[in-house]
Structure 1
Amino acid sequence: MSPRDTPDYRPLDLGDVADTAVDVFEDPDDVRLGDRVLHGLPFRFSSDRDRAVLLVPPGGSARIAADGRPTWLVFAHALLEPELFEGGRVGAPVGTYRLEYRDGTSVTRTLRQRFEIGPTPRRWDGRPLPLDWGQTPLLARNDAEHVLMDRACGRYDEAGARLVGIDDPQSRVPYVLPYRFYLWAMENPRTDAELDGIVVEAGGASVVLGAVTLSDLDEEPFTRTVAREVLVEMRDGGVTESLELEVDRGTASYVYRTAPDVETAPELPGGWGRSRPEEWGTGYAKVSASPSATVSVRDGGREQGAFRWGDLVERGALTFGWGSVRLPGPDQNWVRTTVRDEAGNPVACRIRFQTTDGIPLAPYGHHAHINSDGGTWNLDIGGDVRLGSYTYAAIGGTCEGWLPTGPVQVEVARGFEYQPIRETVTIAPDQTELELELVRRFDARARGYASGDTHVHFMSTQGAELEARAEDLQVANLLLAQWGEHFTNTEEFTGHPHVSHDHGTVVYAGQENRTNMLGHINLLGLREPIMPWSTGGSEEDELGGGLATTLSHWADECHAQGGTVVLAHFPVPYGETAALLATGRLDAVETIAYDDYNISEYYRYLNAGFRVPLVGGTDKMTSEVPVGLVRTYAAADAGGVEYEAWCAGIRRGDTMVSSGPLLWLRADGQPPGSLLTGRDSVDLGIELETIFPVERIELIRNGEVVRTEYVDPDASTHRLDLTWEVTGSDWFAARCFGAADAGPRHADTWNRPVFAHTSPLYVSSQPDYERHDPEVVTTMLAMIDAARRHITEHARTRWAGTVHHRHGEPDHLAYLTRPFDEASAALRARSDQ
Structure 2
Amino acid sequence: MSTPPSPHFSPVNLAGLWNQDRRHLDATLRPPQDYANRHGLQNILGIPFELGPADSPNVILLDQEPVTIPLDGARASYILFLHAVEDRVTCYQQGLADYATDGNELGTQVAQYTLEYADGQAAATPILRRFAIQQSRIQWGASPFAAMPAQKPEVFLTTTDEQILGRVPRQPYGRGETRHISGREVRPEHLWVYALPNPHPERPIRQLVLSPGEERAVIYAISITQLQEHPLRPGVRRKLRLTLPEGVEVNRLGELEGVDIDLGTVISARAALDYDADRWQGEEPVVQPRRSDREVLVEYAAHPHARLYLTTGPDSHLAVDLATLDHPAVVEVKPAHRPVTVRVVARESGQPVAVRLHMHGEAGEYLPPRGHHRKVNGYWFEDNYAEFVNLYNQYSYIDGHCVVDLPLGWVYVEITRGYEVRPIRTRVEVKPETEELVFELDKVLRWREQGWVTADTHVHFLSPQTALLEGQAEGVNVVNLLASQWGEMFSNVGDFDGKTTFGAREFGGDGEFLVRVGTENRMQVLGHISLLGYAGAMIHPLCTGGPTESAIGDPLEVTMAEWAERCIAQGGLVVMPHAPNPQLERAADFVLGVVHATEMMTFNPLSPNNIQVNPYGLADWYRYLNLGYQIPVVGGSDKMAASSLLGGIRTYAHLGEREFTYENWMAAVRDGNTFVTVGPLAAITVEGVSPGGQVHLPAGGGTVQVTWRVESVSLPIEQVEVVVGGLTAEQVHVGKALDASGSVALPIRESTWIALRVRGSYKGQAGEIAAHTSAVQVLVDGKPLFSPTDAAAVLDQIEGAIAYVDTLAPRPEAQRFRQLRARLEAAYNRLHQRMHQQGIFHRHTPLHQHDRPHEH
Using structure 2 for the length normalisation, give the TM-score. 0.86
2:825 maps to amino acid: D
Out of 263, 282, 303, the residue aligned to residue 290 of structure 1 is 303
Larger deviation: 207-216 or 574-583?
A: 207-216
Deviations 1:774-822 (A, max 9, x none): 222233333322321221233221x5xxx5xxxxxx6223212212222
Structure 1 range deviating more: 345-354 or 84-93: 84-93
Distance (Å, rounded) in 2 between the aligned partners of 1:467 and 1:141: 41
C-alpha spacing 1:400/1:467, structure 2 compared with 1 (3 Å): same
Residue correspondence of structure 1 range 305-704 to structure 2 within 5 A: 305-312=318-325, 315=326, 318-319=327-328, 324-330=329-335, 332-342=337-347, 343-371=349-377, 375-500=378-503, 501-527=509-535, 528-593=537-602, 594-636=613-655, 641-678=660-697, 680-691=702-713, 692-704=715-727
Please tell me the residue identity of whatever aligns with 1:17. L
Other-structure match for 2:751: 729
Is 2:795 the counterpart of 1:781?
A: yes
* 1:139 and 2:146 are equivalent in the alignment: yes
Worse-matched range after superposition: 591-600 or 403-412: 591-600
Structure 2 counterpart of 1:251, which letter? T
1:212/1:249 CA distance change after superposition, 3 Å = same
Within-5 A mapping of 1:25-424: 26=28, 27-28=30-31, 30=33, 31-32=35-36, 33-34=38-39, 35-48=41-54, 51-57=57-63, 60-67=65-72, 68-80=74-86, 82=88, 90-91=106-107, 93-117=109-133, 119-122=134-137, 130=139, 133-150=140-157, 152-153=161-162, 154-155=168-169, 158=172, 160-168=174-182, 177-180=188-191, 182-234=192-244, 239=250, 240-261=254-275, 263-265=277-279, 274=287, 280-298=293-311, 305-312=318-325, 315=326, 318-319=327-328, 324-330=329-335, 332-342=337-347, 343-371=349-377, 375-424=378-427
Match runs of 1:732-743 below 5 Å: 732-739=754-761, 742=764
Counterparts of 1:457 and 1:262, CA distance in 2? 35
Contact preservation (8 Å) 2:273, 2:292: no
1:303 shift after superposition: 6.0
Residue pair 1:484, 1:542 contacting (<8 A) in 2 also = yes
Shift, 1:519, TM fit: 1.4
Identity %: 29
Distance 1:678 1:653, change over 3 A: same
**Compared with structure 1, are the counterparts of its residues 3 and 669 closer, same or farther at alpha carbon in structure 2 (3 Å cutoff)?**
closer
- Per-residue CA deviation, residues 611-666 of structure 1 (Å, 9 max, x unaligned), is 11111111112210111111111122688631111111111111000111111112
SS in 1 for 2:210: strand
Instruction: Give the secondary-structure state (helix, strand or coil) at the position aligned to 1:520.
Output: strand
Aligned partner of residue 439 in structure 1, secondary structure: strand
Q: Distance in 2 between matches of 1:632 and 1:164?
A: 35
Three-state SS of the structure 2 residue aligned to 1:684 is strand
Structure 2 CA distance for partners of 1:643 and 1:744, relative to 1, 3 Å: farther
CA displacement, residues 558-594 of structure 1 (integer Å, 9 cap, x when unaligned): 1111211111112211111221122211111111142
What do residues 689-723 of structure 1 show as CA deviations (whole Å, max 9, x unaligned)? 1121121111101111111111232x322111223
Residue 763 (structure 2) pairs with residue 763 (structure 1)? no
| Aligned 8 A contact 1:449 1:638 in 2 | no
Report SS of the residue matched to 1:695: strand
- Structure 1: stretches of 5+ with no match in the other structure: 124-129, 746-752, 804-809
1:805-824 alignment to 2 at 5 Å? 811-824=815-828
Taking the aligned partners of 1:299 and 1:14, their CA distance within structure 2 comes to 35
Distance 1:166 1:301, change over 3 A: farther
* Aligned counterparts of 2:82 and 2:268: Cα–Cα separation in 1: 29
1:806 corresponds to: none
Equivalent in the alignment of 1:807? none
Cα shift readout 1:366-422 (whole Å, capped 9, x = no counterpart): 112123xxx510124320110111110011111112011211000001111111110
Q: Distance in 2 between matches of 1:741 and 1:459?
A: 28
When structure 1 is superposed on structure 2, of 537-546 and 257-266 the one drifting more is 257-266
Corresponding letter in the other structure for 1:738: G
* Residues 522-543 of structure 1 deviation map (CA, whole Å, 9 limit, x = unaligned): 1111222222122222222223
Report the aligned-residue RMSD: 2.9
- Worse overlay, 576-585 or 589-598: 589-598
SS in 1 for 2:268: coil
Shift of 1:40: 0.8
Q: Is the 8 A contact 1:93 1:111 kept in 2?
A: yes
Verify the 8 A CA contact 1:677 1:769 in the aligned structure 2.
Answer: no
Q: Is the Cα–Cα contact under 8 Å of residues 87 and 137 in structure 2 kept in the other structure?
A: no
Does structure 2 conserve the Cα–Cα contact (< 8 Å) formed by 1:274 and 1:388?
Answer: no
Q: What's the CA shift string for 1:194-230, capped at 9, x where partnerless?
A: 3211111233333332211122445542354312111
Q: Which residue does 1:749 correspond to in 2?
A: none
Instruction: For residues 478-534 of structure 1, give each alpha carbon's deviation from its aligned partner in whole angstroms, at most 9, with x where no partner exists.
Output: 112222222222112111243222221211111111122211111111222222122
The whole-number CA distance in structure 1 between the counterparts of 2:280 and 2:583 is 38
Partner SS state of residue 364, structure 2: coil
| Maintained 8 Å contact 2:3/2:260 | no
Contact preservation (8 Å) 1:169, 1:178: no
Q: Check conservation: 1:3, 1:42, Cα contact below 8 A.
A: no
SS at match of 1:534: coil
Aligned counterparts of 1:9 and 1:266: Cα–Cα separation in 2: 48
- Aligned residue for 1:688, secondary structure, equals strand
* CA displacement at 1:246 relative to structure 2: 0.2
Give the aligned residue type for 1:708.
Q
Task: Please give the secondary structure, in 2, of the residue aligned with 1:65.
Answer: strand
> Which one-letter code corresponds to 2:572 in the other structure?
G
1:811 & 1:497 partners in 2: Cα distance? 36
Kept in 2: contact 1:497–1:643 (CA 8 A): no
State whether residues 696 and 739 of structure 1, in contact with CA within 8 Å, keep that contact through their aligned partners in structure 2: no
Q: Is the 8 A contact 1:732 1:762 kept in 2?
A: yes
2:323 alignment partner, SS class: helix
Q: CA deviation at 1:299?
A: 7.4
Amino acid at match of 2:466: G
Seen in structure 2, the aligned counterparts of structure 1 residues 7 and 252 have a Cα distance that, compared at 3 Å, is closer
| Residue in 1 that maps onto 2:845 | none
Q: Comparing 160-169 with 653-662, which one deviates more in the overlay?
A: 160-169
1:283 aligned partner, one-letter code:
V
**Which residue matches 2:851?**
none
Aligned CA distance change for structure 1 residues 706 and 170 (closer, same or farther; 3 Å)? farther
Q: With the length of structure 1 as denominator, give the TM-score of the two structures.
A: 0.88
Answer whether contact 1:518 1:787 (CA < 8 A) is retained.
Answer: yes
Contact 2:149 2:183 in 1 (8 A): no
**1:78–1:209: 8 Å Cα contact kept in structure 2?**
yes
